[in-house]
Structure 1
């Protein structure tokens, strides 16, 4: 029986050399190329998440302007209680002691005589007046009730040196000046300012004309039983 011929494996040597040369060639090309780091990290991160899944899921933090903590606000202060606090507080200041505090059915009114706050026809307060309003603002800084400031005048038109062409402008400017002082003193909610000129003058008590005109030149601070806007 003839002996089988041995297989010729010389071609495997040539094939191995060819594969080695090709591998060397690709390694050389890779070493000469510039690797884009961001794409490489993106690819490795994707592979990592795929091969090593995690049971922990991250939740994005809330980015809304309002959340539960910011929507929790202090309730409005009882007007009957607040009236007693203000009555005791204004007595400590000589100017505020001349104001009138009235507790009505749906509001608390602090009537400030305009002649004590401003010079005739003016809406700029002297330092003494500003100091008194800062005291009042300090008393109101801890309440969250809605506050409005109403400016009033007597029927006499502003003089030529007043800087205002009408009582509407004068009363609005005075209301704004008082509102700004309260804000600067620490009241943080919105304050509504209104100018009524002499539109409510006829509602005043029938006093002698001088007293009635002086009462007409007033600024009312209105405190409502509801919470103000922040």
Structure 2
């Protein structure tokens, strides 16, 4: 009789250790569903709250249900705010600023008698200032010549604007192959010319480097035919693209 009782007592004992990982799994799934549900209209404040909760769960800390609820969702939170379109008057003002800047650069070119070496053009991409490579560099070299440092410095002064604009400096070459101790391709030469010219420009402490970038296009964006000497000369250039504040 005692054996049966002992055996019966043993059978009544149920191992419930499996409930612990099961409960953890449910908690994780609940957290996941909450995050997925909120993604359609989540803002920075909600994201931080959910992120904190989620990290605590994986770190073995408090469960997601123990955290305070995010800030109440306003009526506007349920709507996706489209990107605000610029007003036409702002676009017109922006274009007028670029035109005024072009006049300023053209005045500098005229006063310095640099018409054969520098030029400007107002395009859909912005104000383009073109500098022939023989103004700044020796053939096959990427370092700005000492005698031309003053030109780069004076150009930097023309780029000081308030508020500032994004500016891209790009290097271009003709299609004559280059291979020397420093450069294996025109592409490499064009990149380094753009970078070195930008370094000179950014010696001006009134310019913020965060607004500048440099590119090299080698011979792949010619503005004239490479079949003539004159065309090759036009293709060897450094360009300064001053971007509009509003772009399509």
Residue 129 of structure 1 and its aligned partner are, at CA, apart by 1.2
CA–CA distance in structure 2, aligned partners of residues 132 and 139 of structure 1:
11
Which of 116, 122, 137 is matched with 2:141 structurally?
122
Which of 166, 182, 196 is matched with 2:217 structurally?
196
Counterpart in 2 of 1:113? 132
- CA distance 1:131–1:102, change in 2 (3 Å): same
Residue 106 of structure 1 and its aligned partner are, at CA, apart by 3.1
Normalising by the residue count of structure 1, what TM-score does the alignment of the two structures yield? 0.59
Instruction: Tell me how large the CA RMSD over aligned residues is.
Output: 2.3
CA–CA distance in structure 1, aligned partners of residues 226 and 111 of structure 2:
29
User: Which structure has the greater CA radius of gyration?
Assistant: 1
| Structure with the higher fraction of residues in helix conformation | 2
Matched-pair contact (CA < 8 Å) for 2:224–2:234: no
Alignment of 1:47-126 (within 5 A): 78-95=97-114, 98-126=117-145
Counterpart in 2 of 1:12? none
Matched-pair contact (CA < 8 Å) for 2:106–2:119: no
CA–CA distance in structure 2, aligned partners of residues 97 and 216 of structure 1:
14
CA–CA distance in structure 2, aligned partners of residues 115 and 97 of structure 1:
11
Aligned length: 150
Residue 156 of structure 1 and its aligned partner are, at CA, apart by 1.1
Residue 98 of structure 1 and its aligned partner are, at CA, apart by 2.2
Alignment of 1:127-146 (within 5 A): 127-143=146-162, 144-146=164-166
Which of 203, 209, 223 is matched with 1:184 structurally?
203
Normalising by the residue count of structure 2, what TM-score does the alignment of the two structures yield? 0.55
Runs of 5+ unmatched residues, structure 2: 1-92
Matched-pair contact (CA < 8 Å) for 1:96–1:132: no
Runs of 5+ unmatched residues, structure 1: 1-74
